[in-house]
Amino acid sequence: MSAPLDVAVVGAGPAGLATAYALAGQGRTVRVLEAAGAVGGRMRTVREHGCLIDTGAEMFPGRAGYPATWRLIADLGLDRDPAAVSNVRDALAVWRDGRARPNAGRPLGLLTGAGLSLRARADLMRLRVRLARLGDLDPDRPERAGIAEETVADLVRPYHPDVYDYLVHPLVSGFFGWDPARSAAAPFAAHLAASGGSHTWHTYRDGMDTLARALADRLDVTTDHPVTRVAVDGDAVRVESPRGTVTARAVVLAVPAPVAARLYDEPRPAARLFLAECGYTPMLRVSLVLDAPPEPARASFATLIPAAADPLLNVVTRDHRKHPGRAPRGRALISLIPSPRGCRELFDAPDRTVAERLIARAGRFVPGLDAAGPSHVRVHRFRHGLP
């Protein structure tokens, strides 16, 4: 058993690493324990076949949307090279009537259409005005908003059906993993109000794990160290693992709530209830390496697929359009993200089955995909993907 640390942090995703970095900056002795073989969690990047394959999160909004992230980026010096944290151009489109309609989720889309009828665009403006007038949309305190009792479906019900069918529903299900009929409107609206449109999206040139790797380089991090139990032992806490027990004066569980509840027998009833009520939806993703970019060459980075067009496939991303460094010149990196229904149906299926079913459905949205065929396929799964 090792000498006691001040703090052991379980989980080397961005939350755990940022917490450890802040504690170490205050002079604490900190060690981060990560079950996987690399840091990043749901922002991990895999490097293979000449590609940078982001396995989970794809992008993040500008400074107004994620101020704490941007402060950390500046503190680590990641923005000294302007190209290292770049804007995602032509970020979002929506599929309608047989083709992708660009400029979804940005002001220009109100002029070009972005898959919405003229009446729907007018209603979208009315919705934005209503949210702006609320004045109480705080991403950190969404429960205080005037729409706290509304679901996402409730929020958009008074408006033209296109607003729901061709924007809100595919956006909420594809990027949040939510069911609009039961998910709260306030967190969604507060996030959008703070983040702005899709024109504010950014990504890291060197992979979405850039921030995690930069933090880990400055910390004591042990990977391949699965934690099986956390127990209070007098004035200390034991963090048990087949790799050995670590003792600390305090422990931070920077893991999804269901994992935290399994690791630690929480004695406080209110805390146990809170952990039990924190629900997560699974996340599933199929990444395809192609030997040539599919048409059209100037397509948007991400295309939302409404349920009316396909009930199982929700988002198609051209990761080489997010940043050209994601794939070697002349090649392409495509990701297929199923809908919440698709995740439920396919999550426990073999990789080959998942890939075959989603590739077959994606052919109509990515012309030439069936004929070209991927040279490499990788399936990513997160049991506790999206809160």
- What is the domain-level CATH number for residue 53? 3.50.50.60
Indicate if 139 and 227 belong to the same structural domain: no
Domain-located, residue 238 = yes
**Residue 97 forms part of a structural domain:** no
More confident residue, 67 or 372: 67
Are 335 and 319 in contact by the 8 Å Cβ rule? The answer is yes
Go through the chain and tell me how many residues it has: 387
For residues 300 and 375, state if they share a domain: yes
- Distance, CA of 171 to CA of 371 (rounded, Å): 29
Looking at the chain, the whole-number percentage of residues with pLDDT higher than 70 is: 98
pLDDT exceeds 80 at position 4 = no
- Please answer whether residues 35 and 227 qualify as being in contact, where contact means their C-beta atoms are separated by less than 8 angstroms: yes
Question: Does one domain contain both 261 and 311?
Answer: no
Q: How many CB atoms lie within 10 A of CB 146?
A: 14
Contacts of 53 (CB under 8 A, 6+ apart): 45, 46, 47, 287, 319, 326, 333, 378
Q: How far apart are CA 61 and CA 172, in angstroms?
A: 16
Quick one: 133 and 193 in the same domain? yes
- Write down the pLDDT at residue 2: 54
Classify residue 91: in a domain, yes or no. Answer: no
- Tell which of 277, 311, 331 closes a domain: 277
Shared domain check, 137 and 47: no
Q: Do residues 295 and 381 both lie within one domain?
A: yes
Asked if residue 372 is part of any domain, the answer here is: yes
- Please indicate, yes or no, if residue 382 is contained in any of the structural domains: yes
Rounded to an integer, the average pLDDT of 174-191 is 93
Residue 143 lies in a domain: yes
Q: What is the pLDDT of residues 276-315, one digit of tens each?
A: 999 899 999 999 999 988 877 678 999 999 999 999 999 9
When pLDDT is averaged across residues 310-338 and rounded to a whole number, the result is 96
322 Cβ neighbours under 8 A, 6+ residues apart: 58, 59, 88, 203, 301
pLDDT at residue 172 tops 80 = yes
Q: For tokens 């009792």, what's the residue?
A: 149
| 366 shares its domain with 305 | yes
List the domain range (segments joined by +) for residue 360: 280-386
Span 243-267, average pLDDT: 96
Residues 315, 338: one domain? yes
- pLDDT at position 110 is 72
The verdict on residue 161 lying in a domain is: yes
Q: Which of 261, 277, 293 corresponds to the end of one domain?
A: 277
My answer on whether 284 and 270 are in the same domain is no
Residue pLDDT, tens place only, 9-32: 999 999 999 999 999 999 999 999
Q: pTM for this one? A: 0.92
Where residue 230 falls among pLDDT bands split at 50, 70, 90? very high
- Residue 3: predicted pLDDT: 62
Q: What does the pLDDT look like over 30-46, one tens digit per residue?
A: 999 999 999 999 999 99
Q: CATH code at 355?
A: 3.90.660.20
Query: Rounded mean pLDDT of the chain?
Result: 93
Buried b (16+ CB within 10 A) or exposed e, 60-96: bbbeebbeebbebbeebebeeeeeebbebebbbbbbb
Q: Are 259 and 167 found together in one domain?
A: no
| Shared-domain flag, residues 189 and 252 | no
* Cα(72)–Cα(111) distance, integer angstroms: 36
Number of domains in the chain: 3
Do 292 and 340 have their domain in common? yes
Boundary residue ending a domain (227, 244, 277): 277
pLDDT in tens, 74-112: 999 999 998 999 999 889 999 999 999 988 887 777 777
Residue 86 forms part of a structural domain? no
